[in-house]
Structure 1
Amino acid sequence: MKILVTGATGFIGSALCQFLLENKHSVHYLTTSEDKINNTIPNYTGFVWNPSKNQIDLDCLKDVDAIVNLAGHTINCAWTEENKKKILDSRINCSNKLFNALKDNQHQVKSIVNASAIGIYQSSETMVYDESSIDFGTDFLADVCKQWEAANARFETLGIQTAITRFGLILSKDNGVLRELARVVSLGMGANLGNGKQWMSWVHYQEVVQIIYKLLMQQQAGLFNVVAPNAVRQEQFLTLLAAELDKPLWLPNIPEFVIKFGLGKRSALVLSSQHVQPKNLQENNYIFSYPHLSGALKDLYK
């Protein structure tokens, strides 16, 4: 297959592209920077686009069978009004540009896998969510996810099999939240954030790549929660992480008001609670390689 990937130079995008190439697929990727184009790798071809200016090199669609749309400005930044606009606009503009390019031009794309996040669900320490749940949040992240998914659902109107993947907390020792938590725990300064009862619905980064690949190969459509089947509360997460790193977890909880004072609205990234189940993946007979957090951490820090 020939697959077009947006967000290909990001954390998951780069891991996915490497996996696709190893499995003998051809990859086209879109980037806003010509400096990031490296056409010396066989079957790996870059094209320039600028969704905010409605620009795209249409050659990126040539002979492409499927698309993986992961593009979007990082949420791990100060949530100023300017950055919040970048977070939302980058996602909507990318989806809109892809949609219009497919609508207005000849192509052979049969399926698309789009990113979203479990942040769409309402924060709760008691609720359990699956893809049929409609208890959505009203905060900034939930609003971004709702608008993003609405923009991506339109690909269905073009006769393209459309999957929307709601990512949980993606674990990698080199990227994201786990790297930051492990750094603090390694210094012997680990502590629960807030009451520690928040649910953390996590997934190993290699599992994310495998799930996207399966959805591509099977041309699946619908909603998919990309999380392991065994969520844990934050206090259990940190206890297992500290044990894996052979470090004590002895400091008292950091009060919620302190976290909110330091992070502002971005505190939702560490204080929100979503207990999410991957019902549709399990009903589609996906077998998780890392269903339990202890096994995932052992693999990451082996």
Structure 2
Amino acid sequence: MKKLIIAAGTGFLGQVLVNHFKDKFEEIVILTRGNSKTIDGIKYVNWNARNFTGWEKELENATVLINLAGKSVDCRYTKKNKKEILLSRIESTKILNKAVLNCQNPPKHWLNSSTATIYRFSLDKQMDEADGEIGNDFSINVALSWEKAFFKTETPKTLKTALRTSIVLGKNGGAFIPLKNLAKLGFGGKQGKGDQFVSWIHEEDFANAVNFIIEKEMTGFINVVSPEPIRNADFMQKLRKTIGFPFGIPVNTFLLKIGSFFIRTEAELILKSRNVIPKRLLENGFEFKFGSIDKAFQNLLH
């Protein structure tokens, strides 16, 4: 019997994966900080992502484990939040490593969240898994620590894959909704200089890529991004065009920093140039349904 476990699967990405996999697995278990219950045949099991409380038994005989746990980076980088961002990723990964090693029949394949933010700010070079250059700042160091916590424990019976995912664009969650609302209010111009690259992926391609990685038993680091990073100014212009809004007021770096302070987030999320490409997915024959931003916007808005 095929069994899928999604740790921290109640958020936007978890629901994207549940919708995709619900007919492909006989059993789906979501590890959640909420109450244990069963809804529509999906089992929700309480965990605190730090120690064993009984949830670990669910990993026995699982086909696939996907870990999405980690505090959202959409917050102010205060000392307290920085600590939570780091620890929520490290602790959940470490306790899952212990749980996997304790299993008689551990999950065959474990896919752990990571981030395309691991590569340096780049206007000049496309970053792939083979020769992408890792940078050095808070977000990058979190990503490095996260992947280290994942890979340093060897799990002989369980394949391991780190998903270096970019911004996932979806109809019901993620970054797309606030960007769409900004554009509708007339603030859909370039953000900052506008020359920074946006690495993105459509929610359907994200789910299809995860499915593809499982089927092909791909391991190691994989960039889960669309093949076409796009400059922020072009991204916003195409979004305005698809929405049918004639103009967009640009927001300069200074205003972005003030605005992000008031909405309790960080301007870095918009200003960093993520110029990342999915070399390994393409080399293995993965086909994107929404490879261009025009196609993605058409689908998400109509």
Q: Quote the sequence identity (%).
A: 28
For 1:87 and 1:116, locate their aligned partners in 2 and report how far apart those are by CA, in whole Å: 13
Aligned residue for 1:189?
Answer: 187
Aligned residue for 2:66?
Answer: 68
For 2:141 and 2:54, locate their aligned partners in 1 and report how far apart those are by CA, in whole Å: 27
For 2:119 and 2:54, locate their aligned partners in 1 and report how far apart those are by CA, in whole Å: 33
Per-residue CA deviations over 1:49-97 (Å, capped at 9, x if unaligned) read 1123554522211321221111111111222211111111111111001
In structure 2, runs of 5+ residues without a counterpart are none
In structure 1, runs of 5+ residues without a counterpart are none
Aligned residue for 1:153?
Answer: 151
Written as runs of structure 1 = structure 2, the 5 A alignment for 1:258-297 is: 258-263=255-260, 266-297=266-297
Aligned residue for 2:254?
Answer: 257
Per-residue CA deviations over 1:239-262 (Å, capped at 9, x if unaligned) read 1000010002342x3222332344
Task: Label 1:250 to 1:211 Cα distance change in 2 as closer, same or farther (>3 A).
Answer: closer
- Normalization by structure 1: what TM-score? 0.93
How far 1:134 moved relative to its partner?
Answer: 4.6
How far 1:158 moved relative to its partner?
Answer: 3.0
Matched position secondary structure for 2:291: coil
Task: Label 1:213 to 1:202 Cα distance change in 2 as closer, same or farther (>3 A).
Answer: same
The answer to whether the 8 Å contact 1:110/1:219 transfers is: no
For 1:48 and 1:76, locate their aligned partners in 2 and report how far apart those are by CA, in whole Å: 24
Written as runs of structure 1 = structure 2, the 5 A alignment for 1:124-203 is: 124-154=122-152, 156-203=154-201
For 1:52 and 1:59, locate their aligned partners in 2 and report how far apart those are by CA, in whole Å: 15
The answer to whether the 8 Å contact 2:59/2:103 transfers is: no
Which has a greater percent of helix? 1
Aligned residue for 2:3?
Answer: 2
For 2:206 and 2:82, locate their aligned partners in 1 and report how far apart those are by CA, in whole Å: 26
How far 1:24 moved relative to its partner?
Answer: 4.2
For 1:213 and 1:70, locate their aligned partners in 2 and report how far apart those are by CA, in whole Å: 15
Task: Label 1:71 to 1:101 Cα distance change in 2 as closer, same or farther (>3 A).
Answer: same
How far 1:192 moved relative to its partner?
Answer: 1.2
Q: Aligned residue pairs: how many?
A: 298
Task: Label 1:63 to 1:53 Cα distance change in 2 as closer, same or farther (>3 A).
Answer: closer
For 1:239 and 1:25, locate their aligned partners in 2 and report how far apart those are by CA, in whole Å: 44
How far 1:181 moved relative to its partner?
Answer: 1.1
Per-residue CA deviations over 1:200-256 (Å, capped at 9, x if unaligned) read 1110011111111121233221211111111110011001000010002342x3222
Stretch deviating more after TM superposition (123-132 or 170-179): 170-179
For 1:52 and 1:98, locate their aligned partners in 2 and report how far apart those are by CA, in whole Å: 9
Q: Which amino acid aligns with 2:105?
A: H
Stretch deviating more after TM superposition (104-113 or 218-227): 104-113
Matched position secondary structure for 2:71: coil
Q: Which amino acid aligns with 2:123?
A: E
For 1:133 and 1:38, locate their aligned partners in 2 and report how far apart those are by CA, in whole Å: 45
Aligned residue for 2:214?
Answer: 216
- Normalization by structure 2: what TM-score? 0.93
How far 1:9 moved relative to its partner?
Answer: 0.3
Matched position secondary structure for 1:230: coil
For 2:26 and 2:74, locate their aligned partners in 1 and report how far apart those are by CA, in whole Å: 31
The answer to whether the 8 Å contact 2:60/2:103 transfers is: no
Matched position secondary structure for 2:117: helix
For 2:138 and 2:223, locate their aligned partners in 1 and report how far apart those are by CA, in whole Å: 20
